[in-house]
């Protein structure tokens, strides 16, 4: 094991770049520094890495004067924190490009979706809507990297590099998927525990996320003690703990009653408007899609294709009052007509007459 003073500049640069999310998590130990220089450098979660760099600088600055400046450690940390292009690379939300994507499951008679092409600009909110079974959820899983299309390309890229990357993704399923034997706090902590984040650092992040979803005070409750809406808020808080650049939401509010669903929509759009991650949202509700989105991608019946990319020209932030505006009502009517038309095209002549 080598001491901090023996690390070379390239290694130090690698360490600090890990902290701000340019490379993956690594652990660097040193007896001279009381056990470690940086533990679990994915500390970029709520602070995009700047807090990590400050933590490391503080740690080095607490050493005796003769050990305070091993080759370039403190100056280099300061340089990287203040270097705009590097900071931008660590925090910049990537752009999604989908070109000619097609997905077919083994033994399937037809593709689930085919010839899918669209882009999602950084920080935008885009909804996928279409008839049941048209491949919306499968496409979302493909965007997340959980499924691989047989044809075409799905790529997240930074504008500067034009190279495909894997962004920090938060994924919310149709069900809250909470662990019943864990309390609310422990459920929210799961992504942080999997990253090896120390308990002393997990707790303040969890408390902050629960506060954002209106669940402060419920840290020690268990899933069986929560309503459906509260469970989905725990799921949302859990997804937010790693400060995602991208949120993928697979019809998360479909099982909720209308009042709770409206509350969750208000919460979601408020969080998105303040934090501006990129959102790709699957829904069966036309009203919900128009209320939340910058754009709505309307899909045809299976095999799913993009029928139309509808731009929603309603200003943010949006309130409940928007539902009575003519522009909102026109968008809702237009998207409904697209879905009905695309569903009708998939029926045989005999079925259309029924």
Domain finish residue from 90, 107, 127? 90
- Going by C-alpha positions, the residue among 305, 279, 298, 303 that lies closest to residue 336 is 298
Can you give the CATH number for the domain in which 315 is found?
A: 3.40.50.300
What's the pLDDT score for residue 236?
93
Same-domain check for residues 255 and 112: yes
In a domain, 212, yes or no: no
Same-domain check for residues 31 and 163: no
Same-domain check for residues 83 and 108: no
Domain finish residue from 38, 56, 90? 90
Cα(161)–Cα(76) distance, integer angstroms: 23
What's the pLDDT score for residue 296?
97
One digit per residue, the tens of pLDDT, for the chain of length 354 reads 333 444 444 444 444 433 333 333 334 444 433 333 333 333 332 323 333 333 343 344 443 333 333 333 333 333 333 323 333 333 567 889 999 999 988 876 778 999 999 999 999 999 999 998 899 999 999 998 888 898 999 998 876 666 777 778 889 988 888 999 999 999 999 888 888 888 888 888 899 999 999 999 999 999 999 999 999 999 999 999 888 889 999 999 988 888 989 889 989 998 998 888 999 999 999 999 999 999 999 999 988 999 999 999 998 888 888 889 999 999 999 999 999 988 765 444 443 333
Burial class for 125, CB neighbours closer than 10 Å (0-12, 13-18, 19+): buried
In a domain, 48, yes or no: yes
In a domain, 220, yes or no: no
In a domain, 195, yes or no: no
- What CA–CA distances, in Å, run from 26 to 40, 58, 63, 285, 331? 6, 19, 22, 43, 49
Same-domain check for residues 252 and 128: yes
Q: For strand 164-165 and strand 151-157, is the pairing parallel, antiparallel, or unpaired? A: antiparallel
Domain holding 13, by residue range, is 4-90
In a domain, 194, yes or no: no
In a domain, 79, yes or no: yes
Same-domain check for residues 81 and 134: no
Q: Which two tokens stand for residue 104?
A: 């077919």
- Would you call the peptide bond into 326 cis, given omega within 30 degrees of 0 as the criterion? no
Same-domain check for residues 13 and 154: no
The residues that bridge with 103 in the sheet, in sequence order, are 113
In a domain, 213, yes or no: no
Same-domain check for residues 160 and 298: yes
* Rounded (10°) CA dihedral 278, 280, 281, 286: 100
Q: Which two tokens stand for residue 55?
A: 């933590």
What's the pLDDT score for residue 330?
95
Q: Which residue matches tokens 């919900």?
A: 288
Domain finish residue from 57, 90, 123? 90
Q: Which two tokens stand for residue 215?
A: 């669940």
In a domain, 342, yes or no: yes
Same-domain check for residues 83 and 103: no
Query: What total number of domains does the chain contain?
Result: 2
Same-domain check for residues 84 and 100: no
Q: Which two tokens stand for residue 23?
A: 């490379």
Cα(291)–Cα(328) distance, integer angstroms: 8
Same-domain check for residues 56 and 100: no
Same-domain check for residues 28 and 130: no
Residue 72 CB neighbour total at 10 angstroms: 15
Positive or negative, the Cα torsion across 227, 320, 273, 154? positive
Same-domain check for residues 163 and 303: yes
């Amino acid at each position: 094991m080598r001491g901090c003073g023996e690390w070379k500049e390239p290694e130090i640069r690698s360490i600090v770049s890990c902290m701000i999310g340019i490379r993956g998590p690594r652990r660097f130990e040193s007896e001279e520094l009381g056990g470690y220089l940086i533990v679990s450098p994915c500390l970029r979660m709520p602070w995009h890495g700047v807090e990590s760099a400050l933590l490391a600088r503080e740690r080095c600055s607490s050493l005796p004067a003769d050990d305070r400046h091993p080759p370039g450690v403190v100056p280099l940390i300061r340089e990287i924190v203040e270097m705009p292009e590097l900071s931008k690379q660590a925090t910049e939300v990537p752009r999604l490009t989908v070109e000619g994507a097609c997905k077919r499951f083994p033994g399937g008679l037809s593709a689930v979706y085919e010839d899918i092409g669209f882009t999602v600009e950084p920080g935008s909110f885009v909804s996928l809507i279409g008839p049941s079974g048209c491949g919306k959820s499968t496409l979302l899983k493909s965007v997340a990297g959980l499924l691989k299309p047989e044809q075409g390309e799905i790529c997240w890229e930074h504008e500067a590099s034009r190279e495909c990357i894997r962004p920090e993704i938060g994924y919310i399923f149709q069900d809250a998927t909470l662990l019943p034997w864990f309390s609310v706090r422990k459920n929210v902590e799961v992504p942080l525990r999997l990253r090896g984040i120390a308990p002393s650092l997990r707790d303040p992040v969890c408390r902050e996320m629960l506060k954002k979803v209106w669940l402060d005070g419920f840290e020690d409750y268990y899933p069986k003690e929560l309503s459906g809406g509260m469970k989905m808020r725990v799921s949302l808080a859990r997804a937010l703990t790693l400060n995602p650049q991208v949120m993928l939401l697979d019809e998360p509010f479909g099982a909720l009653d209308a009042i709770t669903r409206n509350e969750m929509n208000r919460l979601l759009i408020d969080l998105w408007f303040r934090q501006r991650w990129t959102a790709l949202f699957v829904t069966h509700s036309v009203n919900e899609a128009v209320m939340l989105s910058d754009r709505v991608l309307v899909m045809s019946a299976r095999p799913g294709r993009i029928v139309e990319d509808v731009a929603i020209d309603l200003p943010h932030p949006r309130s409940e009052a928007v539902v009575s505006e003519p522009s909102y009502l026109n968008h809702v009517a237009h998207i409904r007509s697209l879905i009905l038309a695309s569903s009708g095209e998939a029926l045989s002549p005999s079925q259309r007459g029924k």
